[in-house]
């Protein structure tokens, strides 16, 4: 008599944050790939992917039988899942020193342009990653700190599915 083995991998969309999948009827299991999983041999690992991912689960019952299934996670890309700060303080205290875009579901920042209120381009980058501190604005122009004040930004982000999101607004630089 064999113990039934059922794999129930969730298929669907994963909003920002974490997603969880489950398997039942097994005594051991293995998830792959291991990236962004809290545990690869747990019953209910938590995933925090930064890109759409297909996980494979292999489950084993007490009789040595195995079954495989896939859990396809597609990150949802919506404008409210991207965080653009309203202010930053480039004073080298390691807190909010850079104008950095964070979020999930975004493949890349196609372009970011920051201008003075008179339209002078002070900072521009193309094809950078979300959460890339090295390519974020540090409040300098031509090696000199810019004055405290309001600056205008134009950002074009690309979702994993190719959709484009446009953001326009102001950021306060505080010194």
User: Is position 1 within any domain?
Assistant: no
What total number of domains does the chain contain? 2
> For residue range 93-147, what is the model confidence (pLDDT) as tens digits?
999 999 999 887 788 999 999 999 999 999 999 999 988 999 999 999 999 999 9
DSSP code of residue 2: P
Q: Phi and psi for 127 in degrees, rounded to 5? A: 50, 60
State the CATH number of the domain containing residue 69: 2.60.40
Instruction: Count CB-CB contacts under 10 A for residue 126.
Output: 12
- Mode of pairing for the β-strands spanning 66-75 and 12-14: parallel
Residue 105 sits in the same domain as residue 159: yes
Range of the domain at 129: 79-173
Residue 106 sits in the same domain as residue 161: yes
What mean pLDDT is predicted for residues 150-154?
98
> For residue range 6-30, what is the model confidence (pLDDT) as tens digits?
444 444 444 444 455 555 677 888 8
Exposed, middle or buried: residue 59 (CB in 10 Å: 0-12, 13-18, 19+)? Answer: buried
State the CATH number of the domain containing residue 153: 2.60.40.1220
> For residue range 41-54, what is the model confidence (pLDDT) as tens digits?
887 788 877 777 88
Residue 91 sits in the same domain as residue 40: no
Residue 20 sits in the same domain as residue 103: no
């Amino acid at each position: 008599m064999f113990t039934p083995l059922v794999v129930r991998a969730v298929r669907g969309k994963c909003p920002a944050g974490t997603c969880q999948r489950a398997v039942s009827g097994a005594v051991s299991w293995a998830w792959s790939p291991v990236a962004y999983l809290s545990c690869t041999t747990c019953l209910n690992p938590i995933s925090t992917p930064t890109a759409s991912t297909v996980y494979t689960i292999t489950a084993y019952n007490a009789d040595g039988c195995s079954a495989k299934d896939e859990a396809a996670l597609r990150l949802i890309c919506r404008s409210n899942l991207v965080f653009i700060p309203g202010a930053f303080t480039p004073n080298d205290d390691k807190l909010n020193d850079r104008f950095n875009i964070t979020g999930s579901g975004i493949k890349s920042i196609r372009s970011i342009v920051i201008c003075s209120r008179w339209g002078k381009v002070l900072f521009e980058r193309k094809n950078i990653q979300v959460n890339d501190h090295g390519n974020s604005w540090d409040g300098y122009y031509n090696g000199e700190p810019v004055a405290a004040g309001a600056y205008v930004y134009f950002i074009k982000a690309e979702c994993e599915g190719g959709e484009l999101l446009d953001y326009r607004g102001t950021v306060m630089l505080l010194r």
